[in-house]
Amino acid sequence: MVGILGFLPALAQALDKPGFNWKSLIIGFSAAHYLFETYLSLRQYRVLQRESPPKALEGAIDQETFIKSQTYSRAKSKLGFVSSLYSFLLDTSFIFFDALPKFWGIAGTVLKLWAPARFTGEISQSVVFFLGYNFVSTILTLPLSIYSTFVLEEKFGFNKQTPSLFITDFIKTQLLTVVIGGPLLSAFLKIIIYFGGQFFYYLWLFTLVFQVIAIVVYPILIQPLFNKVTPMEEGKIKTEVEKLAVQLKFPLKDLFVIDGSKRSAHSNAYFYGLPWKKHIVIYDTLIAKFEADEVVAVLAHELGHWALSHTTKMLIIQQIHLFTIFVLFSVFISNMSLYQSFGFGHQKPVMIGFILFSDILEPLNSILAFALSLLSRKHEYEADAFAVKLNYARELSLALIKLHIQNLSTMDADWLYSSYHYSHPILPERLRAMRWKNEKKEE
């Protein structure tokens, strides 16, 4: 590994070119990404104007439901156009008007005025900068979030949040950002500063340990702040799921129901936990609106991901990706021309360096996101096939149709847009792969 990474110092030196306009490069990357995303969204919007469902859905989705789905998807797409343009203009303005050094200077001033002397170093200033910058960014995007929840989702009958719950969630999220984000960022920066040029090994190990701890801590300490999770009552669903877990040798520890209806009418189910102790969580909306066999079929699909090692494969890919990011960051962390291009003079704050590095990495991340979407779609087909082998083809097909009807999910999509954005194949593709036949249509 040392030999393979031996080129990093030479690469770092080659990229540190005095006077190079990194600001224009990053703005160019951002503009190219925005234009590409807009192009894809326009392609998708044309599909959302169709008035007839795909042939694969004939007899399964009636015309009225399809039109509602298309209308809902167009409404979200229009908001997406506004949101992406707003974000692009906001990010570009922050870069063009040197918001980063100004925020950094304000963070330093705050520490000098109100913090003890021992809290005036780079790490403390980075924490104050992060919390302040994050809060301002959140406030600036808050109107779009409010519109999405209380106008768009409300219009189509999905929103169940009250203004008081929305505000409470916002306050809790900001407090968690302070309580968890502050110490986490401090440790992140301390590792980089302490270990110098070899920090990426130790930083990757730290993030891996944190992820494992988060898996254990989140359902115990964080999730209860937002949702009520209760053990599932005895009944057919619990009996069938436990039977399925035994059949697949799935290490099921608990089966929970979460009050998803507290915020939304959308339905879902998922599992989490350590390799030897898993927990399954089912939304109360799923239990209320679906037959027991259909709920079990959905979970058969989810357990298919576990049985086929999809979660393990994705975890390995994520860790490789994370390690690669840290390695590449080591090339830019001391790039003086990068900092100076953004108005930082002779300062080289690690926090700022990572933000700018993330912007430079945007084209590579877009390619990776596309590749991961393709892999995820492949996994979804395989998980569907797994459930079919367990004789849940009919139940899973009906459950997917119901999910799309009740969630008004997008039922048709442009092939390029869906390949890039969707982690799941669209409904017609999944039904065709499972060779679903509409029983009503055959009659």
What's the token pair of residue 440? Answer: 């009503």
* Long-range Cβ pairs for the range 23-26 (8 Å, 24+): 23/95, 23/96, 23/341, 23/342, 25/360, 26/95, 26/356, 26/359, 26/360
CA distance 113 to 125: 12
CA distance 438 to 57: 9
Annotation says 384 is catalytic: yes
Half-sphere exposure of 384 (CA within 13 A, CB side): 25
CA distance 95 to 90: 9
E strand or H helix at 13, and its extent? helix 8-15
What's the token pair of residue 107? Answer: 């963070």
CA distance 429 to 411: 10
Helices (H), 308-361: 310-332, 336-341, 350-360
Q: Length of the chain, please?
A: 443
E strand or H helix at 384, and its extent? helix 362-389
CA distance 310 to 303: 10
Name the catalytic one among 153, 359, 380, 384: 384
Contacts of 278 (CB under 8 A, 6+ apart): 250, 251, 252, 253, 271, 272, 306
What's the token pair of residue 227? Answer: 């949702």
Strand order in the sheet with 277-283: 229-231, 252-258, 277-283, 269-274
User: Do 377 and 392 contact (CB within 8 A), yes or no?
Assistant: no
Contacts of 157 (CB under 8 A, 6+ apart): 265
CA distance 53 to 67: 9
Name the catalytic one among 37, 153, 294, 302: 302
| DSSP letter for each residue of 165-193 | HHHHHHHHHHHHIIIIIHHHHHHHHHHHH
Strand 269-274 versus strand 277-283 pairing type: antiparallel
Annotation says 302 is catalytic: yes
Annotated catalytic residues are 302, 384
